Every structure is written in C-alpha cells, then in structure tokens.
Chains A and B, each alone.
Chain A
Amino acid sequence: QKEVEQNSGPLSVPEGAIASLNCTYSDRGSQSFFWYRQYSGKSPELIMSIYSNGDKEDGRFTAQLNKASQYVSLLIRDSQPSDSATYLCAVYSGTYKYIFGTGTRLKVLA
C-alpha cells in the first residue's frame, strides 16, 4: 500500500518564525509532489508543486525534495497568523492517482 505520512501536529510557531512541515512517502517511483493549504471548512488550495530534487522557492514558501530519502518538506518563512491552517502533502503515484497525507495542522501564534 502506497503511503504518504505527515505529523498531524498541531505545530505551533510564533509569528515571524520559520515553520517547517515534513512529509515522507513510500513509493520510490513517485515523480510529482504537492503542498496544499486547507483552511477549516474550505477546500485545499495549492501552495507549491515540486518535481525535481532540491529547493523551490515562491515568496515566503520553500519546498524541498529529496527523492533518495523519499522526503519532501515545506518551509514557511516569516510565519503569519493567516498561515494557520492544515497543510496537506500529496504525491502523484501514477495512473491518475494522487495520494494525500493526513495533513499537519499549523498554528501561528500572534
């Protein structure tokens, strides 16, 4: 069974700090990786996608992928209270199937 694992949290960080969210996956053949943010009662919205090893930066967000370790992370710099949400890691496992982790709840304390 292909799996994606995340620490459910909550992860609490003070405003202005760096929040680090981690995700591991079991399928070594996975090629596409996504971070979604989901506010309570809302639908998931894409934060970042990453397809190759290394770092990808977009504003305050940096995604990091290490395929050898089967590990993908999301760093949020200068965390804001508005970043408080559940962050879902998703992996494309082939044949039109995406597998989601259970999500990490992030709380940014003002």
Chain B
Amino acid sequence: DTAVSQTPKYLVTQMGNDKSIKCEQNLGHDTMYWYKQDSKKFLKIMFSYNNKELIINETVPNRFSPKSPDKAHLNLHINSLELGDSAVYFCASSLRGVGDTQYFGPGTRLTVL
C-alpha cells in the first residue's frame, strides 16, 4: 500500500543517454512534484503539476521533460544526460498543493558516468 512509488530506485548510465523515471501516487492527490536533491542534501523543486497541468517549471533545462498522463502519475524523462544530472530525484504529492503536506516517494539515485 505504498503511497508514492518511484521506479527505478537506482539508475546508472553514461553521459549522453536518455532515461526516464516513473512516479505513481495512490493517495488521490491533485498535485505532484519533482525535486532534485544534490550531494549537499539541498532539495530543490523542479516541476509542479496540478490535475495533470504543469504549474511550475523551475528554470530546469529543457532536456528534462515531465509528463503527467493522469493525476496519479508523473514521469520524468531526461535527454542527453550530463554529469551534473547525478543526484537523487524525489517525486512527491500533496492533496491540493496550496500549502498542504507533501508526501515523498523513496527517491531515484541517478549516477551519470
């Protein structure tokens, strides 16, 4: 009965490759997010989606393309991976997104070689 799930948990790939991370929430929430956490533990928002609509794109390179097929899913596709993309990526969801609690997925550790 995992609330927010992500796959894969680990991703190791070469520079220049394209990869995707999938996220699903079974909480019935309207809003989903992608965060990037760097090696210094700084958690930075990348995207916010509300009812499948993109609300926030936080100056993320356009190599990153989120897609929300329905409000329970938010996937992240990354083209032409670079060394600096190595990080832990967290998906999260919240009920409405207007100041309510966020629930985080387990994270995907991406390593670009």
Contacts and interface: CB of A to CB of B under 8 A. Distances in A.
Interface of A: 31-32, 34, 38, 42-46, 49, 51, 86, 88, 90, 92, 95-100, 102-103
Given A43-B90, A96-B56, A98-B102, A103 B41 contact: yes
A96 B97 contact: yes
Interface string B76-113: 00000000000000100000011111111111000000
Nearest to A40: B41
B107 A100 contact: no
Contact of B100 (A32, A88, A97, A102): A32
B104 A45 contact: yes
Interface of A is mostly: strand
Contacts of A38: 41
A49 B97 contact: no
Contacts, number: 55
A100 B31 contact: no
B107 to A, nearest CB: 5
A88 B44 CA distance: 12
Interface residues of B, number: 25
Contacts of B31: 96
B41 A96 contact: no
Interface in B1-53: 31, 33, 40-45, 48, 50
Contacts of A42: 106-107
A32 B41 contact: no
7 contacts: A42-B106, A49-B101, A51-B99, A88-B41, A96-B50, A97-B45, A99-B45
Contact of B44 (A31, A95, A100): A100
B35 to A, nearest CB: 8
A90 B97 CA distance: 14
B42 A100 contact: yes
Contact of A102 (B42, B50, B55, B102): B42
A108 to B, nearest CB: 18
B40 A102 contact: yes
